[in-house]
Structure 1
Amino acid sequence: MMRRATSRGDTVTDRSGPVKAAGAILPVRVHTPTGGQTPVQENNRVLKRPYRYVYEVLAIILPIAALIYSLQLLPRFGIIIYKEQYLTLFIAICVAISFLVKPFSKSQVRETPPWYDIIGAVLALIVGGYIFLNYDEIVRSLGLITTDKVIVSVIGIVLLLEVARRHVGWTMVSVGLLALGYAYFGHYLSGMFETRVIRWDRLVTYNYLGTGAIFGTPVYVAATIVTSFVVFGQVLFLVGGGDAISDFAFALMGRRKGGPAKVAIMSSALFGSLSGSASANVATTGMLTIPMMRKVGYSPERAGAVEAVASTGGLVLPPVMAATGFLMAEFLAVPYATVAIAAAVPALLFYFCVYLQVHLEAVKASMEGADATELPDLRDAGRRMIPVAVPFAILLWTLFGWNWNPAASAFAASFATILMSLVLPSMRRPARAYVRTFVEAGEATVFIAIMCAIAGIVVGCLGLTGLGSSLSQNLIAASGGSIWLLLIFSAIGCIILGMGVPVTATYIILVILIGPAFEQLGINKMGAHMFIFYFGTLSFLTPPVCLSVFVASSIARSAPMKTALEALKLAVVAYIIPFAFVLNPAFLLQGTLVEIGAAIIGGVASVFLISAGLVGYLARRVSVVMRLVLIAIGVASFFLTGLHPAFALLPLAAIVLLYGQQKLMGGSAAGAVVGS
């Protein structure tokens, strides 16, 4: 049996030391089969007592507080708190934890925090505690600027920017500082960027104490829904869910043609749909799948690209969608189930395209599957998946069937997982392991909460300056009212802004900046938000700053830019389908049954044509000219289907004609169209 990633117990180490990826919603614990350096590592302190006890208490407070607030337990006892009170305390604890575990610089990692980090943590708690205890008075006089409000706001913003720098470097800090600088100095500019005069005390108090900035919707979602799903993921991994998912993927797909690549697609989709970090997905599954792909004949670049694309695609795949789906539901004021259902078809078409390319390439090159002796037994892996499937069934049923709020659904699934682990000996863990899991859940929440808070600064500054509406007007003017030009400009902007920025923050900023332009041109709201989300996610694959590709190429030991080009080829549908579902909402399951059916059938057939054209194979090899024809018909069919449902028959007819022609010419189609 091959060495496998493990999810049992505490932090697992490989030969290169502890591994845990920053920004992951689910824990990242991987072995390195090759013994090489893991590409994604956190620069955390390993605290000693008593600081470790302080850190653990603070960390465990976060999921417990989220549970109490999300399920509205306090009002049942007559205790009412403002949403902002809860969020202020939540962020204060996140900042304090960051000061304790994140050193000032990479060269200063040590077990005891220096005096200035201790002061930073204490200040964060004092500021949060002051606002929490005095919020009644603060909210009644919110328009009145006082010295105490200015002091706590300045301290709070400075501490927040500093811990953001420690988490992700200067990228997000620069975004926050640029927003603050623009709001303060914008009145010196002219034209569309000119703003009214905004006093600095008004600027800082609005951002830190107001309801539409730092402690707005993004942080609210992070402190409730995201935290609840973090808990679910941590508990699931604790009881062996990660091993069960991975083993099942290997047992089901490993023996097929090009099996390791298909394992990468399946396992990365399963992990990625629950994770908040594309890079962490690569590090988790790629350690196993990339070496196996290399072993059966894939080039280093192709192996890295398959893993990078499959892992990044998990961010747009329900049920979790990197937490951004929950934010989208809040912005659109619709149930999360509506967002998840709308996202299903585009995400499945994306994975179908990746799978088809992998399969056709394997048949074309006569690749075999992995050695059966290296794979888990399918029957045993299936049995181990049953206990894991039960919490997922509870999550989906409560979320979509009973329309519970997402946080309540995730906590219900977590409790079900814990109860099952107490009943089944194979899943049972020591009591301290469960406590440790809640501590790690709190730690895993910190990153995304801090990023959402920084995004909140941008939202607040845009609200003060009105840049969002003016920029939208200028985008419409630049595009001449053309939806196509507006979409192209917006796609480029999403990718550029998303480079090096967490996808959740990218989505928040861009929805405020360019969302109004989509609305003014009458674009479907769901399609507009999903478009921004997709192209923000694609920044992880698009050169030059393609983080997923860099992580995958470091594991595969491949040339990053060549790997990126392979990734673009595999992910081509992800660049096409956002344009398609904006122009034809049937791809988002909005419309009549005929329109939706035509969109799905036409989309599947179009993906088939594009994949066959890119690989150059169907029942036999395809000429260069025919490859171009197939790609052209496939791309055109995505958009023609929206004009009339009958156009869905066009790509189907092209497949039948080409397949029949190749069969008559003697091509062996066995296993080419139907996976083997």
Structure 2
Amino acid sequence: MNNRRQLTGGWKLAVCVLAILIPVASVIYALQLLPRFGIVIYKEQFLALFLAFCVAITFFTKPPVAKDLAGMQWIDLVCALLALGVGGYIFIEYETIVRNLGLITTDKIIVSVIGLALLLEAARRHAGWAMVSVGLLALAYAFFGHYLSGMFETRVIRWDRLVTYNYLNAGAVFGIPLYVAATIVTSFVIFGQVLFLVGGGDAISDFALALMGRRRGGPAKVAIVSSAFFGSLSGSASANVATTGILTIPLMRRVGYSAEKAAAVEAVASTGGLVLPPVMAATGFLMAEFLGVPYATIALAAAVPALLFYFCLYLQVDMEAGKEGLTGVRGEELPDLRDASLRIIPVAVPFAVLLYALFGLNWNPAAAAFSGALSTVLLSLFLPKWRRSLLGYLRTIAAAGEAAVFIAIMCAVAGIVVGSLGLTGLGSNLSQNLVEISGDSVWMLLMFSAFGCIVLGMGVPVTATYIILIILIGPAMEQLGVDRLAAHMFIFYFGTLSFLTPPVCLSVFVAAAIAGSAPMRTALQALKFAVVAYIIPFAFVLNGSYLLIGGWQSIAATMVSGAAGVFMISFALVGFFVGPVALWLRGLALVAGLVAIFLVGHYWAVAPAAVALLVGFYAFQKRVSQHLDTSGRTDVANSEVAG
């Protein structure tokens, strides 16, 4: 919700101080600087303070009613001070609290009730009632669940135990989701903000425009490249659309794309950034924590599906341009490629540092991101065009702190769900019943899971969707033999796809607003462009080679066959290859593409067969196109003679 209150004077200074404290606290804790001076604090102490800063900033900057952007109100100040008071109390007294955590006392109840109420209200101000309703429903289920029967029946849970467990226990609000947001996500937000401060965003946009702008349908390809970069860093599909769509959607409209197609391309490209390594928004880091594996393992596993996603989108926009006879942007309107290439080199250095730290040195993601941010700052000191004032760097740190607030609060609310489910044991009970309902069929369970991810993800951040569903559905998938990594990645993908799937498709709505197109027609176009994203999760559950699991021969065959299958599906959907494609051939190509994607895991010979079939389609279409050209020229010549 874009309803930030514009503050002045002392209020603005207070927010800046709190916002700067967020990344500073994150750096100090994530890099374990305090233990070097003999100071040791509990993780929950750090998280309590971190969350207090985030909630306080929310009450300073977000009004109770979205359209009421007037100055600070007394109730907001009271709530902000209460948030800081609760966080400060836990930070100071946590050693005493943790020693008798099972003993419910008045001070614990008061702190927990106030903390939960402020957290839910902060979430409402950020994202409306959707996420708050999920949190309240989890609490209500834990408290009233003993009145139910069957698989949903729970034991009696007293309200005081419910609130204290959810707010003070390490398995709830102060659990893995908030920890990842407070350390890893914040570190990558700092990296992105510093990169944008020194002009990295403009350099990326200009390079994408210079590289792709001249090609047929060039602006759509610019949208793909720039949105992939921005989306991977921003972690928000809607914010990515708003950032890059302002530039790319009008350019696409200018060269001939319809409003619906222009908006759909931008929405799909921006959403795809969430599943694209090396950053993958916040969810990839959570996945690494839940699975207990290095983040590099997650990023490498996500590479092939994400590349197939963008390959399909690129092919479709190129074929659409060929079908409609669309051109690129005129050369004089584009940045010079040589100049743009030189400007992108400094941007590549921090990314290289980040990747080397992540994959070469095997540093933890937070340390790797901080190293990337530090290298950016150091580089900017030697480049006059990048150099900024001390105030500029401080403002960037404050902006990074504010940018981390939303995801931190969403993760904290997801922690309420995790805590409530842990108290009730619903996760294990539901998983067992899902296995029985699906009749031990992996396909049926995958369909249930995909539907649940999309429905729950409507209006809820993808990170929260992933956290909730991996607890509810993940064990059932593993029980039926699905690889743990594949199960987590499946839920991640379909949680992300809720941003594109009607009726609540937030990234589509933002893109449609910029393009002035009909949202539902835009959503239908987006579904076509993103078709591989709906197919590939089923494929990598059934064939781990898509996630780079297995021998190199199997992985190589899968990659070749998958690419060929995506190519055939793309021209089948668009109806254009070298030229227009007949309906019967489109149907044949669609079936062949699906076979190539799904059966290569069982028969390696599918890969060369798929490539041969694709070459055959190309040769056939080439002959048809040449025949049509010859016939057309003959008809024109005959008409001229007759005239």
For the pair 1:143 / 2:102, whether they are aligned, the reply is yes
Aligned AA for 2:313? V
Structure 1 gap segments, 5+ residues each: 1-21, 23-41, 671-676
CA deviations 1:202-254 (Å, max 9, x no partner) are 00010011010000000000000000001001100000000000000000000
> For residues 48 and 315 of structure 2, what CA distance do their matches in structure 1 show?
48
> For residues 121 and 554 of structure 2, what CA distance do their matches in structure 1 show?
51
Q: 1:222 aligns with which of 181, 187, 202?
A: 181
Q: 1:201 aligns with which of 156, 160, 165?
A: 160
> For residues 669 and 505 of structure 1, what CA distance do their matches in structure 2 show?
54
Q: Answer yes or no: is the 8 Å Cα contact 2:197–2:396 preserved in 1.
A: yes
> For residues 189 and 421 of structure 2, what CA distance do their matches in structure 1 show?
30
> For residues 300 and 432 of structure 1, what CA distance do their matches in structure 2 show?
41
Q: 2:426 aligns with which of 456, 463, 467?
A: 467
For the pair 1:480 / 2:439, whether they are aligned, the reply is yes
> For residues 59 and 656 of structure 1, what CA distance do their matches in structure 2 show?
57
Decide which moves more: 640-649 or 581-590. 640-649
For the pair 1:641 / 2:603, whether they are aligned, the reply is no
How far is the alpha carbon of 1:662 from its aligned partner? 2.3
> For residues 391 and 170 of structure 1, what CA distance do their matches in structure 2 show?
39
Residues 669/79 of structure 1: CA separation in 2 closer, same or farther (3 Å cut): farther
> For residues 78 and 234 of structure 1, what CA distance do their matches in structure 2 show?
32
Q: Answer yes or no: is the 8 Å Cα contact 1:540–1:547 preserved in 2.
A: yes
> For residues 119 and 444 of structure 1, what CA distance do their matches in structure 2 show?
23
Aligned AA for 1:405? N
Q: Answer yes or no: is the 8 Å Cα contact 2:268–2:526 preserved in 1.
A: yes
Residues 604/636 of structure 1: CA separation in 2 closer, same or farther (3 Å cut): same
Counterpart for residue 48 of structure 1: 8
Q: 2:387 aligns with which of 410, 428, 432?
A: 428
For the pair 1:331 / 2:290, whether they are aligned, the reply is yes
DSSP-derived class of the 1:97 partner = helix
Counterpart for residue 660 of structure 1: 619
Q: Answer yes or no: is the 8 Å Cα contact 2:146–2:156 preserved in 1.
A: yes
DSSP-derived class of the 2:473 partner = helix
Counterpart for residue 617 of structure 1: 576
Residues 156/256 of structure 1: CA separation in 2 closer, same or farther (3 Å cut): same
> For residues 67 and 558 of structure 2, what CA distance do their matches in structure 1 show?
54
Q: Answer yes or no: is the 8 Å Cα contact 1:620–1:668 preserved in 2.
A: no
CA deviations 1:476-505 (Å, max 9, x no partner) are 111000000000010000000000000100
- What is the RMSD computed on CA atoms of the aligned residues? 1.2
> For residues 198 and 106 of structure 1, what CA distance do their matches in structure 2 show?
36
Counterpart for residue 406 of structure 1: 365
For the pair 1:544 / 2:477, whether they are aligned, the reply is no
How far is the alpha carbon of 1:669 from its aligned partner? 13
Q: 1:629 aligns with which of 574, 583, 588?
A: 588
Aligned AA for 2:454? I
For the pair 1:105 / 2:39, whether they are aligned, the reply is no
Q: Answer yes or no: is the 8 Å Cα contact 2:146–2:153 preserved in 1.
A: yes
Q: Answer yes or no: is the 8 Å Cα contact 1:275–1:320 preserved in 2.
A: no
Greater C-alpha Rg:
2
CA deviations 1:18-56 (Å, max 9, x no partner) are xxxx6xxxxxxxxxxxxxxxxxxx211111221111111
Decide which moves more: 134-143 or 98-107. 98-107
> For residues 5 and 620 of structure 2, what CA distance do their matches in structure 1 show?
64
Q: Answer yes or no: is the 8 Å Cα contact 1:609–1:651 preserved in 2.
A: no
How far is the alpha carbon of 1:107 from its aligned partner? 3.7
Q: 2:47 aligns with which of 67, 71, 87?
A: 87
For the pair 1:437 / 2:410, whether they are aligned, the reply is no
> For residues 112 and 300 of structure 2, what CA distance do their matches in structure 1 show?
40
Looking at secondary structure, tell me which structure has more helix per residue: 2
CA deviations 1:534-575 (Å, max 9, x no partner) are 000000000000111111111111111111111000000000
Q: 2:335 aligns with which of 360, 372, 376?
A: 376
Q: 2:277 aligns with which of 307, 312, 318?
A: 318
Moved >2 Å (runs of 4+): 662-670
1:122-141 aligned within 5 A: 122-141=81-100
TM-score (norm 2): 0.97
For the pair 1:344 / 2:303, whether they are aligned, the reply is yes
> For residues 572 and 223 of structure 1, what CA distance do their matches in structure 2 show?
34
Counterpart for residue 580 of structure 1: 539
Counterpart for residue 356 of structure 1: 315
Q: 1:393 aligns with which of 345, 348, 352?
A: 352
Counterpart for residue 66 of structure 1: 26
CA deviations 1:561-592 (Å, max 9, x no partner) are 11111100000000000000000000000100
DSSP-derived class of the 1:392 partner = helix
Structure 2 gap segments, 5+ residues each: 630-643
> For residues 399 and 247 of structure 1, what CA distance do their matches in structure 2 show?
27
> For residues 45 and 218 of structure 2, what CA distance do their matches in structure 1 show?
52
Q: Answer yes or no: is the 8 Å Cα contact 2:66–2:125 preserved in 1.
A: no
Q: Answer yes or no: is the 8 Å Cα contact 1:360–1:612 preserved in 2.
A: yes
How far is the alpha carbon of 1:270 from its aligned partner? 1.0
Counterpart for residue 3 of structure 1: none
> For residues 517 and 586 of structure 2, what CA distance do their matches in structure 1 show?
27
> For residues 534 and 108 of structure 1, what CA distance do their matches in structure 2 show?
36
CA deviations 1:30-83 (Å, max 9, x no partner) are xxxxxxxxxxxx211111221111111111000000000010000000000000
1:107-186 aligned within 5 A: 107-111=67-71, 113-186=72-145
> For residues 455 and 310 of structure 1, what CA distance do their matches in structure 2 show?
27
> For residues 605 and 346 of structure 1, what CA distance do their matches in structure 2 show?
14
For the pair 1:589 / 2:543, whether they are aligned, the reply is no
Report how many aligned residue pairs link the two structures.
629
How far is the alpha carbon of 1:319 from its aligned partner? 1.1
How far is the alpha carbon of 1:667 from its aligned partner? 3.6
Aligned AA for 2:26? A
Q: Answer yes or no: is the 8 Å Cα contact 1:618–1:669 preserved in 2.
A: no
> For residues 502 and 135 of structure 2, what CA distance do their matches in structure 1 show?
24
Decide which moves more: 272-281 or 451-460. 272-281
Counterpart for residue 37 of structure 2: 77
1:525-564 aligned within 5 A: 525-564=484-523
For the pair 1:236 / 2:205, whether they are aligned, the reply is no
> For residues 550 and 106 of structure 1, what CA distance do their matches in structure 2 show?
18
Q: Answer yes or no: is the 8 Å Cα contact 1:66–1:228 preserved in 2.
A: yes
CA deviations 1:134-184 (Å, max 9, x no partner) are 111100100111111111000000000011111011111100000000000
Aligned AA for 1:47? L
Q: 1:505 aligns with which of 464, 478, 490?
A: 464
Aligned AA for 1:527? A
Aligned AA for 2:363? W
Q: Answer yes or no: is the 8 Å Cα contact 1:663–1:669 preserved in 2.
A: no
Q: Answer yes or no: is the 8 Å Cα contact 2:23–2:397 preserved in 1.
A: yes
Identity of matched residues, %: 69
